[in-house]
Amino acid sequence: MTSPIEYSAAMLSFMEQMNERLPQNKNLMEMFKNGFRNTLDTTIQRMPDGTTFVITGDIPAMWLRDSAAQVRPFLVLSQADRDMADMIEGLVRRQMKCILVDPYANAFNASPSGKGHHDDLTEMNPWLWERKYEIDSLCYPIQLSYLLWKNTGRISQFDDTFKQAVRLILSLWATEQRHETDSPYTFQRLNCPPTDTLIREGKGSITGYTGMTWSGFRPSDDACTYGYLVPSNMFAVVVLCDLAEIADEVLHDAALAADARALGEEIDRGIREFGIYDHPVYGKIYAYETDGLGNFNLMDDANVPSLLSIPYLGYAGSDDPVYQNTRRFILGKENPYFFQGTAAEGIGSPHTPERHTWPIALAMQGLTTSDRAEKARMLHLLETTTADTGLMHESFNVDDPFRYTRPWFSWANMMFCELLMDFCGVRVKK
pLDDT in tens, 213-265: 999 999 999 999 999 999 999 999 999 999 999 999 999 999 999 999 999 99
pLDDT of residue 7: 79
Q: Could you tell me the sign of the dihedral formed by the alpha carbons of 202, 240, 147, 372, in that order?
A: negative
> So what's the pLDDT on residue 25?
84
- Percent of the chain at pLDDT exceeding 90: 94
Q: Flag the least confident range among 32-41, 204-213, 413-422.
A: 32-41
DSSP 8-class letter at 194: G
> What pLDDT score does 406 carry?
92
Is pLDDT at 1 greater than 90 in this prediction? Answer: no
Nearest CA among 129, 138, 68 for reference residue 100:
138
- Rounded to an integer, the average pLDDT of 123-130 is 98
Percent of the chain with pLDDT over 70: 99
Tell me what the mean pLDDT of segment 117-131 comes to: 98
Judged against a pLDDT cut of 50, whether residue 79 lies above it is answered with yes
**Strand 345-347 and strand 52-54: pairing?**
unpaired
Question: What is the C-alpha end-to-end distance of the chain, expressed in Å?
Answer: 31
Assess whether pLDDT exceeds 80 at residue 3.
no
> Does the pLDDT at position 2 exceed 70?
no
Interval 265-303: pLDDT, tens:
999 999 999 999 999 999 999 999 999 999 999 999 999
Residue 41's contacts (CB-CB under 8 Å, 6 or more residues apart) are 2, 3
Tell me the average pLDDT across 172-192: 98
What is the pLDDT at residue 275? 98
Q: What is the structure's pLDDT at 244?
A: 98
Amino acid symbol at 326: T
**Banded model confidence at residue 6, pLDDT cuts 50, 70, 90:** low
* φ, ψ dihedrals at 316, nearest 5°: -150, 155
Pairing of strands 289-290, 107-108: unpaired
Q: What is the pLDDT of residues 245-254, one digit of tens each?
A: 999 999 999 9
Strand 395-397 to strand 128-130: parallel, antiparallel, or no bridges (unpaired)?
unpaired
Contact (CB, 8 A) for 394 and 409: yes
The candidate with the shortest Cα–Cα distance to 52, out of 22, 90, 23, 96, is 90
Amino acid 426: pLDDT: 95
Statement: residue 401 has pLDDT above 90: yes
- Give percent helix, percent strand, percent coil of the chain, each to the nearest 5: 45, 10, 40
Spatial contact of 32 and 78, defined as CB atoms under 8 Å apart:
no
Q: Which of 368, 347, 288, 384 is nearest to 28 (CA)?
A: 384
Instruction: Kindly report which listed range (9-23, 127-141, 329-343) carries the lowest average pLDDT score.
Output: 9-23
CB-count exposure of residue 265 (10 Å: 0-12, 13-18, 19+): middle
What are the tens digits of pLDDT across the range 80-104? Answer: 999 999 999 999 999 999 999 999 9
193: helix, coil or strand? Answer: coil
Q: At what angle do helices 230-246 and 254-274 cross, to 10 degrees?
A: 160
Cβ neighbours of 13 (radius 10 Å): 13
Which amino acid makes up residue 368? T
Q: Mind giving me the DSSP string for 357-369?
A: E-HHHHHHHHHT-
Q: 152-172: string of b/e by CB count within 10 Å (b at 16+)? A: bebeebbeebbbebbebbbeb
pTM to 2 decimals? 0.97
CB 419 within 8 A of CB 382: yes
pLDDT in the model for residue 58: 80
CA torsion 155-159-164-169 (nearest 10°) is -20
What are the φ and ψ backbone dihedral angles of 303, each rounded to 5 degrees? -75, 150
In this prediction, residue 4 has a pLDDT band, given cuts at 50, 70 and 90, of very low
Cα–Cα distances (Å) from 198 to 188, 189, 230, 254, in that order, read 6, 8, 18, 38
Give per-residue pLDDT as tens, 132-169: 999 999 999 999 999 999 999 999 999 999 999 999 99
Do the beta carbons of residue 290 and residue 406 sit within 8 Å?
A: no
Alpha-carbon gap, residue 151 to 293, rounded angstroms: 42
Q: Which residue has the higher pLDDT, 75 or 2?
A: 75
Sequence-distant (6+) residues with CB within 8 A of 100 are: 161, 164, 165, 168
Average pLDDT in the 169-194 region? 98
CA angle 349, 352, 358 (to 5 degrees): 60
Question: At 22, is the pLDDT very low, low, confident or very high (cuts 50, 70, 90)?
Answer: confident
pLDDT over 90 at 57, yes or no: no
